[in-house]
Amino acid sequence: MNPWGLLILLVAIFVTLVGLVSSIITIHTFVESHQKPTIKQRPVTISIAFIVAMFLLAVILLPISFAVGKASTPGPSPTPTGQKPTATIIQVTPTPTFTQSAPIDLTPDSVSYGHKINSWSKPAYNGYCQLPDCDPTSKRVDMLTEGTVVTATCWTYGQMVITGTLTDPGYKDIRWIKLEDGSYLPNTWFLRDRLSPQLSRC
């Protein structure tokens, strides 16, 4: 209940008490006047009218106090008709994706490759089909020089790539890393066995 409603309620209680006290005084005076005729008595009609007026005023003020208190109590604001409630947007900071960077390593075949290697549009060569499995639709994307630091964003399975030769192979791997530009490079020319297990699969 707000202060105005409380004030009206207090006035109503006060008026009720005044009417009650007036009733007691009137009854007491009436009794004494009959026991002692010398006591001067107020007109009974005026006293009764005053008491009735006090009680009527109290009866009127009581509901008014509750109505004022209820009407002034703040409540939830209704959503305007035809409007949807505004959604609360919570921004969530994404967890950084793990990446791994290292220089391109063509050993022991650096000289035979001329210290350069291509990245590809798919995790396979479009030639060298003696090793499973080449993809004729794969295209060269970039020419990378040995020692250039590249960053792997994820890895996937692709064509087998070996060091050495078909008759005398060295390291073998079917994992390819996906670079930041979206092209693929054989892990054979990257970190090989040192590829981190934290690096996710594409």
State residue 44's pLDDT score: 63
pLDDT band at 76 (very low <50, low <70, confident <90, very high): low
> How distant, in Å, are the alpha carbons of 39, 64, 146, 191 from that of 149?
119, 83, 9, 11
Q: pLDDT (tens digit, 9 = 90+) per residue, 114-146?
A: 999 999 999 999 988 899 999 999 999 999 999
Q: pLDDT (tens digit, 9 = 90+) per residue, 156-181?
A: 999 999 999 999 999 999 999 999 99
pLDDT at 33 over 60: yes
- What 3-state class would DSSP assign to 133? coil
Taken in order 62, 65, 68, 74, the sign of the CA dihedral is negative
Q: Within this chain, do residues 110 and 187 fall inside the same structural domain, yes or no?
A: yes
Task: Pick the more confident residue, 193 or 20.
Answer: 193
State residue 63's pLDDT score: 75
State residue 153's pLDDT score: 97
| Mean pLDDT value of segment 65-71 | 67
User: Cα(119)–Cα(151) distance, rounded to whole angstroms?
Assistant: 12
Output the pTM of the full model.
Answer: 0.55
What is the phi-psi region of residue 90: left when phi exceeds 0, alpha when psi lies from -120 to 50, beta otherwise? beta
Boundary-marking domain end, from 71, 87, 112: 71
Domain tally, the chain: 2
User: Cα(85)–Cα(10) distance, rounded to whole angstroms?
Assistant: 41
Residue 45 is assigned to a structural domain of this protein: yes
Nearest-5° Cα angle at 171, 168 to 175: 130
Q: Within this chain, do residues 105 and 164 fall inside the same structural domain, yes or no?
A: yes
Structure tokens at 138: 């794969």
> How distant, in Å, are the alpha carbons of 82, 91, 92, 100 from that of 88?
19, 10, 13, 37
Residue 174 is assigned to a structural domain of this protein: yes
**Residue 15: which domain range?**
3-71
Q: Percentage of the chain with pLDDT > 90? A: 49
Residue 86 is assigned to a structural domain of this protein: no
Per the document, the length of the chain is 202
Q: Within this chain, do residues 62 and 113 fall inside the same structural domain, yes or no?
A: no
CB 18 within 8 A of CB 71: no
Q: Within this chain, do residues 56 and 129 fall inside the same structural domain, yes or no?
A: no
State residue 14's pLDDT score: 79
Q: Within this chain, do residues 111 and 186 fall inside the same structural domain, yes or no?
A: yes
Nearest-5° Cα angle at 44, 39 to 49: 145
Q: Within this chain, do residues 164 and 105 fall inside the same structural domain, yes or no?
A: yes
Calculate the average pLDDT of the chain: 83
Boundary-marking domain end, from 26, 55, 71: 71
Q: Within this chain, do residues 121 and 178 fall inside the same structural domain, yes or no?
A: yes
Residue 155 is assigned to a structural domain of this protein: yes
pLDDT at 47 over 60: yes
Residue 199 is assigned to a structural domain of this protein: no
How remote is the C-alpha of 59 from its chain's centroid? Answer: 52
State residue 23's pLDDT score: 72
pLDDT band at 70 (very low <50, low <70, confident <90, very high): low
- What 3-state class would DSSP assign to 16? helix
Q: Within this chain, do residues 132 and 176 fall inside the same structural domain, yes or no?
A: yes
